[in-house]
Structures are given as C-alpha cells and as structure tokens.
Chains A and B, each alone.
Chain A
Amino acid sequence: MSMIEFKNVTKQFGDLVVLKNVDLTINAGEVVVLIGPSGSGKSTLIRCINALESINGGDLIVDDLSVNGNNETLYKIRQEAGMVFQQFNLFPQMTALENVMFGMKQVRKVDKDTARLNASELLEKVGLGNKSGHYPSELSGGQQQRVAIARALAIGPKVMLFDEPTSALDPELKEEVLNVMQDLAKEGMTMVVVTHEMAFAKKVGSRLIFMEHGHIIVDGDPTEIISNPPNERLADFLKHVH
C-alpha cells in the first residue's frame, strides 16, 4: 500500500528549481534513507511531505490526502506524518513531559491524565523516563532529540520524517538517537530519513535514494548501492561520507 506518492512534483524558491518533476512512491513499512550533496533537494523533498513547503507543480499524496488540499487537509497530513528536525526545536517553556503531552492534548484532544500517562510511556521508550521534569535547556542534544522523537510519536503518526536528525550532535550522542530510530524501524514504522550516517542506512534502511540537483539519481537497496555504486557521482559522494 502506498503511503506517500510524489506525482511529477516540482518545487521552486523564486527562480531556483529545487525539485524537478519528481516521481516517487513510498510504501507502508519502508525505511527510506535520502542522501545527496547539500542543495540537492533532499530536505525540501521531506518537508514537502508534511506540507511545511508547498509544492508548485504536480501532486503529492500522503495517506490518501493531497498536499494541495485545504488547511484542514494539511493539518491531517501533518498529524499522519511526524517530523523530527535537525535542531530539535523543543518548546523551551515546557518540560520534556509537557513537550510530549502538548500535541496529544491540543491535536488529539486526549484528556490530561491519559496524555500524561502516554507521554511518560513514550519518554520511557526513548530511554528518558527519568528526565520527564527537565526543561530542554537542562538536557543534552541527544536527549533533546529523543524527546523530539517522542513528541512526534505522541500524535500517533503513520509516517515519521527525519530531517538530518543527528547532524547537530556530537559523535557519541548520535548513537543514542540512531538506536531509538532503529527500534522504531523494527516496530514497522514507515520512515523517511535524510542523513549522512551510511552505517545506519545499511543496517536499518530498506531503501536508499541519492538525489542531485532536484532529481532522484539512484533508488534501490542500500547495501547493494553502497558497496557497488551504479553511478559515478554517487561513488564520488560516498567517498566523502562514511
């Protein structure tokens, strides 16, 4: 069953064309890893999925809803597609627990006690059960990002989008975030991940997509592609990441 479907999608910022006639189908349960040089359009592609960027041409269907729909449709799409950002973007005036509870209360209209219980469970799941009363400023980058994952999961999304989730983290903190993501993949969550962590792509990814200049250049099995790049540009790119 297709969860996300790009149909001839074009995205421009002024005169700059960032996505050029992209066609892409992502099925439920897939873990798609997006790689490519900076400016290749991978972040824009992932941001189009939950309509944080609007598209200029074509159509993009997420869980049977079109991003060209009205505001109500966009809210629904964003509730189905949770997003994790490079800079975490936790709400600084709320504790870890409140950050996770917030969406449940405001978006899913869950009552306070249930939200508190579910949020505690989610924090437990990302290994931060003992940090629920801490404010974001009191947490390390890795811990903040795990809270951000719990916050996104709290809405009960069908897809999780990760936009360079470990790029702002020290090497030793990356691992704890990647482990949480791996567990999520094991549970069968559909995931789209922009990352340069090639080990993660090989181990967790079910599909690897290489983008350049707004086009999808390579699309296939991660292990195969990484060990045997079918394209010179990709081979060159892989030399610069690890």
Chain B
Amino acid sequence: MELDWSVILDYLPMLWEGAKTTIAITLFGGLIGGLILGVIVGMIRTYGGKVPNAIAIAYVELIRGTPIVVQVMFIYFALPVLLDVRIDNFTAAIVAIILNSAAYIAEIVRGAFLSVNPNLTEAGLALGLPKWKVYLFIVGPLAFRRLIPPLGNQFIISLKDTSLFIVIGVGELTRTGQEIMASNFRAVEIWTAVAIIYLIMTSIISFTLRKLEKRMKIL
C-alpha cells in the first residue's frame, strides 16, 4: 500500500480538536483535580485520625485495585442507574481521572511528607507553633520539592490514561484517530500522527517539571 503522509495535514484540525479534549481532561482532571484531592487524601493518610485514615486507605485500595476502564464505565453507566442522575461522558471522564490520579498522588504525597526529617517538625513545634502551621510552612515546602519527580510520572500516566475513555465515547485524541481511521483507512499515517501528538504533550510535561525541579533544590 502506498503511504501518503499528506493526509495527516488534512486531518490535523480534527486531531487538534481531539488533542484539546485530551488536554482539558488531563489538565482539569488529572493535574488540578487530582492534585487537590490527592493532597487532601495524602494528608489524611499521613496525619489523620484512625477513622479518616481507614476511609482513605479503603479509597486508595479500591482505585488502585480496579482498572480505570471499569471505573469510568461504572461512573458513566452504573452510577446513573444507582443515583438516578444523568451525566455526560466528558464529566464522567473528568470525575474518573480525578478519582484515579488522586489515589496515586495521595500515596506520593504521604511518602514525601514522611520523608521529611521528624526532627524538623519538632523544631517547629518547639517554637510554639500549632501543628498545622509547622506542616504548612516547614514540612510542606520540603515535601513539595520531593513530590515533583514522582508527580511528573503520575501526570504523564494520567494523560495517557485519558485514551481509555474511548470506551465511553469521549472525543479525545485516540477516539478522534479511530474515527478518522474508520473513514479513510490510513492506519499507518493516522496512528503515527496520534502517537507523535501524545509524545509532544508528554514531553511538555516532562520538560516543565524538569525546569521546576532545577529551580527548586531538593533538600
């Protein structure tokens, strides 16, 4: 079969639309939502009382122990049946990626906080500060620096995981590729283009985090 790379150019606007959806789900779900929920769950795992901690463990285990495809299917198809609400597939995708990435980020956050020398917490307390201020001003900034490398990993995983939302028909990049494929059968050209666009997006995350890491010395 003759390869015709110029078809990529014809379909680039469509692929870009798909990539924008991928970026939106990754940015608002995996990065921002996942980070906020992940930090909260991580703090509960690290410093919370017995009951909140047990709930947090159950959540993390539930998410880590089930495939993301099953999770998003449950949110999109099963939850509406159970709760009698209808949510669109884009919202379901966002909720799924938040819940999923937050579980992993929670463990990353916990690890980072626990890695900070407990003597520093004690030094902060000895100044007469309440615990939350010690965590916010002393332990937090140190933990954050150690968070950056594993967080980068998780962001990249989240970005790639958005491709699985093809199962609920979200028009992200992979689904867009699939649709183009179905109309012109240019498998090699289109999937090459899709792969390269993913590679560009993950490279941007890697590059940004590496810059950030360089600016903040790991202490």
Contact = CB atoms under 8 A, between A and B. Distances in A.
Given A89-B119, A92-B219, A52 B125 contact: yes
A91 interface: yes
Contacts of A52: 122, 125-126
Interface in A172-205: none
Contacts of A79: 127-128
B48 interface: no
A77 B129 CA distance: 11
Given A92-B219, A93-B141, A106 B129 contact: yes
B123 interface: yes
B219 A106 contact: no
A76 B145 CA distance: 32
Contact of B127 (A71, A76, A93, A155): A155
B65 interface: no
A183 to B, nearest CB: 22
A78 B130 contact: no
A155 B219 CA distance: 26
Contact of A107 (B119, B128, B138): B128
**The 6 nearest A-B residue pairs measured at CB:** A79-B128, A89-B123, A78-B128, A83-B126, A92-B219, A103-B127
Given A79-B128, A89-B123, 16 more contacts: A52-B126, A75-B130, A77-B128, A79-B127, A82-B126, A83-B126, A89-B117, A89-B119, A91-B120, A91-B123, A91-B124, A93-B142, A106-B133, A137-B219, A152-B126, A155-B128
